[in-house]
Structure 1
Amino acid sequence: MGHALSVAATMPDFIRTSDDTSLFYRDWGTGKPVVFVASWVMPSESWSYQMAALAEQGFRCVAYDRRGHGRSSDPGRGYDFDTLADDLAAVLDTLDLRDVTLVGFSMGGAEIVRYVTRHGTARVGRLVSIAPTTPLVMRRPDNPHGFDEAVLEDLHRAFQQDFPLWVEENARPFVLPETSQATVEWVKSMALGTSLKAVLDCHRMLVREDFREELKTIDLPVLVIQGNADISSPIDLAGRPTADLIPGARLEIYQGAPHGLFITHRERLNRDLAAFAAS
C-alpha cells in the first residue's frame, strides 16, 4: 500500500491534497497564469476552448478536475467550500503560481471567492466570476430572488432518482438552439463523468451557502460575466448582486447568453478574459 501511494504521489498531471485526494490538472502554455475552476458536474475539459485560445496568446492556462469530477479521485468527502478552497490552494501552491487570474464558472465562482477569503491574495492578482452562483441561491426573507427550498429539494431528489435523465433534459437549455448536437453530447458526457456523491453533496451545499458578507471583503480587481438569458442562475439572483457587493467589480452582460456561455459565446469570452488577465 505504501509503495502504491508513493507512486501515485509522483504521477505527472496529478496534485495530492492535504487529505490525500488526487486532483488531475491540465497545464497549457507559458506566461502569466490563468487558473480555471469549472462548474458543478463539469471537469477541467469544459475549459478547452478558453485554454487553447489563451495559451496561444501567451498565457499559462491551468485547470483541474474538482474532487469527484473528471479524472480526479472520488474520496466521498470534502464537498464543502472550505475543503474545495483548500484544494485550489494545493494547486496554486504545488505549481507555485503567482499573480494569478482566477476564473470560476458557476459554482467555481463561489470557490474562488472562498479561496481568497480563506487563503488570502498573495498568489492572486484578479478574479473573474462567470455565471456565478453567488451570493445566495436559496430564497430567504432578505433574498427574495432566490429559489424556494422546496424547488431545490425536488431537484435534489431528481438527481437521486435518475441523474442521467436530468442531464438529458437539461443539456439543451444549457446552450443555444443553434448549438450542435455533437456539442450537447459532449456536455452530457462530461456531466455524467461526475461521482453521484459529488453531484448530491455539492448541490446541497452550493444552494445554501451565503457569500454576501464575504463578497464585501474582496479587495482585488473583479470581472463578473453573465448572460441575461441564463435560467440556471438568473442574473438578478447572481451576477448583478455579486458585482454590486464586491467593491469596484465590473459586470459584463452578454445579451442572449445562456448559462453555458463559455461554449455559446466563447469568442467574446476569450477576448474579455485575455484583456482582463493582461491588465
Structure 2
Amino acid sequence: MPGTDLTMTTSDGVRIVYDDEGGGSTFLLVHGYDGLRGHWEFQREALLAAGHRVVALDQRGHWASDKPSHGLRMVRLGQDLRELIDLLDLDDVTLVAHSMGVSASLAMFSISGVAPVRRFVAIEQSPKLTNDEHWSWGAQGLGWDNVYDIAYMRAVLGQPELEPPMPEGAAMGMTEETFDHDKVSPLRLDHLVADWRDVLPRISVPTWVVTGRLSPYYDVGGMEWFAAEVPDGRLTVFERSGHSPHVTEAHDFNRQLLDFVDANR
C-alpha cells in the first residue's frame, strides 16, 4: 500500500521507516551518513511530477527508523535494501544513492547481485575511503593513522568548510540533537574501512557517477576512476557543487537524471 511513514521489519528485527509514493517506473533513493529520507525532497518532487514511483527510506540508526546496537555495518545496510526491494516486489529500479548510501548499495550488489536494479546513480562516494600506500583516491586526509579518530568524531573528515551554501528548504541531514554519533560510530568506522573496489567491474547496469568540483572529500580523479571501472559507467562533474550536487544544482541534476533514465530503458 503506497504512502508515507510506512514500516518494514528486517530479518534481524529492526523497524525501517520508508515512503512509497507515485506510480510508473521506480526510483529507490538511499541517503548517506546522518542523512534522512527527507534529504531527497528536490528529487521527490521532480520525479513524482514526471510520473514515477519514488521509494525513500531512513536507514537503520537514522531519523525515524530504529536505532539498534546491532547490525551497524555496511553489509547489513545492504541487506536492508535488498529486503525492502523484495518486500515491495520492485522491478526496473533506478537506484539513486548519496555518500554512504552508495556504499550500502555496493554492499547489496556484493551480497546478492544487481537485479532488479536496472540503472545505478552513485553520488559523491569513493569505493574505498581509507588511503594507503596503494590507494590515493579515498577521502581526503583519511589514512590508517587517523581512521579511528575520524570514525569516533575526534577529528574532522575532509574539508567541510569548502562546501557551498545549500539552497533554502534543503534537508541535508540530522542535527546533533537528533543523531547519536556515539551510538552509530561502529557503522561509521565500518564504512570508513570498507573496500568495495572489486564490486565495480561486476556492476552490469548503466551507472552514472556524480561528483562536485568543490567536493570537500573527493578528488575528481577518483570519481573518474570509479566511472571507468564500471563496464557501462559515465561521470558528470557539477562545477558549482560540493558533496551534494543533487541539492546544490538540483534542477540540472534532475534534468540529467531523467535523461539518463530515458537513455537507458
1:277 Cα deviation (Å)? 2.6
Q: SS in structure 1 opposite 2:241? A: coil
Residue by residue over 1:213-239, the C-alpha shift from the partner in whole angstroms, topping out at 9 and shown as x without a partner, is 1111111111111111101233334x2
Q: Across the two proteins, how many residue pairs are aligned to each other? A: 256
Q: Deviations over 1:86-130 (max 9, x none)?
A: 100111111111010111101111111221232223311111101
Kindly report the root-mean-square deviation, in angstroms, between the aligned alpha carbons of the 2 structures: 2.4
The answer to whether the 8 Å contact 2:137/2:221 transfers is: yes
Matched, 1:140 2:132: yes
1:3-54: CA deviation from partner (whole Å, max 9, x where unpaired):
xxxxxxxx96001100110100011211100000101110111011111111
In structure 2, the residue matched to 1:236 is: 221
Which of 133, 148, 152 lines up with 1:153 in the alignment? 148
Distance 1:143 1:125, change over 3 A: same
Indicate the SS of the match to 1:150.
Answer: coil
What residue is the counterpart of 1:72 in the other structure? 65
In the aligned structure 2, how far is the partner of 1:102 from the partner of 1:130? 11
Change (3 A) 1:244 1:264: same
1:44 and 1:192, CA in 2 relative to 1: closer, same or farther beyond 3 A? farther
**Mapping for residues 161-176 of structure 1, pairs under 5 Å:** 170=160, 173-174=162-163, 176=164
Aligned to 1:56: 49
Choose from 11, 19, 28 the match for 1:26.
Answer: 19
Aligned to 1:211: 196
Contact 1:16/1:22 (<8 A) preserved: yes
SS, match of residue 153 in structure 2? helix
Q: Is the 8 A contact 2:43 2:254 kept in 1?
A: yes
Structure 2 match to 1:3: none
Q: Which has the larger radius of gyration?
A: 1
Structure-2 change in CA distance of 1:45 and 1:191 (3 Å): farther
Higher helix share: 1
**Quick one: distance in 2 between partners of 1:271 and 1:198?**
38
Percent identity, aligned pairs only, is 26
What's the TM-score once normalised by structure 2's chain length?
0.87
- The equivalent of 2:230 in structure 1 is 246
Distance in 1, Cα, partners of 2:63 & 2:195: 27
Question: Could you list the runs of 5+ residues in structure 2 that have no partner in the other structure?
Answer: none
Listed as ranges, the gaps of 5+ residues in structure 1 are 1-10, 161-165
Cα 1:116–1:188, aligned 2, differ >3 Å: closer, same or farther?
Answer: closer
Q: 1:198 to 1:60 in 2, by over 3 A?
A: farther
Q: For structure 1, which segment, 269-278 or 257-266, has the greater mean C-alpha deviation from structure 2 after superposition?
A: 269-278
Residues 1-279 of structure 1 aligned to structure 2 (within 5 Å):
13-132=6-125, 134-146=126-138, 147-158=142-153, 170=160, 173-174=162-163, 176-177=164-165, 179=166, 183=169, 186-187=171-172, 189-190=174-175, 192-197=177-182, 199-237=184-222, 239-278=223-262, 279=264
Q: Distance in 2 between matches of 1:47 and 1:198?
A: 25
Query: Counterparts of 1:117 and 1:259 in 2: how far apart (Å)?
Result: 25
Q: Distance in 1 between matches of 2:101 and 2:5?
A: 24
